Amino acid sequence: MAEEGRLAGMRALVTGSGTGIGRGIALAYAAAGARVALHYAHSAEGAESAVEQITSTGGEAQAFQADLRDLEALNEMTARAMDYLDGIDILVNNAGITMNKPFLDVTPDQFDTLFGVNIRGMYFTTQAVAPAMVAQGSGAIINLSSVHASTGMTEHTIYAATKSAIVGFTRVLALELGPKGIRVNAIAPGWILVENHLKVLGDDIDTEALGKDLPAGFVGAPEDIGHLATYLACDESRYLLGQTIIIDGGQTSIMPLSGDFREPRTEQWGQGYVDGL
């Protein structure tokens, strides 16, 4: 089904939408007809350019800044965003930060920073917005987790812990808010190529070659997450609650130590037994 008009008349707040996945979701929502409030912490240029892109095609959007570790700033931002939108129908908790560091070298400040943004910020942004959804008897909340919640990668103990916590938070919140007409689900992306990857890996990275290591044959883009987030925000997903949907190009489907998924298997397991039955 074409996405145009799927979210017509709906009002959405997308956190962390100055870059990457959040920006992609905000643009997808606007393309589907929603009015969008774009939150950002540091990426003012990206958020404002997204607003310009949306408004230049007749959409409605505005950017709002806040450090989600600061509860006063968080509450002020959500209030201003909902005032601009005149209510709220969709909340996307996308804001998050990552860091890789060996477990034994992680400092308490680094731990608190990641949990402060990825979990505490998400928790209290939702708490600030949910009463308006409860009052109107409807709403959709979408939390961004990661494949790090279900697979392991060294030096990501804090990040993986926050993304695992989001899965549990989503499941329980869906039980509490579902009877009030609010659907809560999560998205767990695999590798999605965003600006921060290019800063680390370089602009000349061969993404086509990297994509060959995925069953899908390519590395995902923010708009891929935007399409799924649009589905989770509209009534077509009305029977979906408390779930975390993995979208990773088949990344987590590959069994470890099983060899190259592109090559035929040389071992024959049980064929003689099966053929003899």
Catalytic residues: 159
Number of C-beta neighbours around residue 52 at 10 A: 12
DSSP string for residues in 54-94: HHTTT--EEEEE--TT-HHHHHHHHHHHHHHHTS-SEEEE-
Longest dimension (CA), the chain: 72
d(CA 150, CA 21): 20
* Angle, helices 122-136/157-177, rounded to nearest 10 degrees: 20
Closest residue by Cα to residue 189 from 141, 227, 147: 147
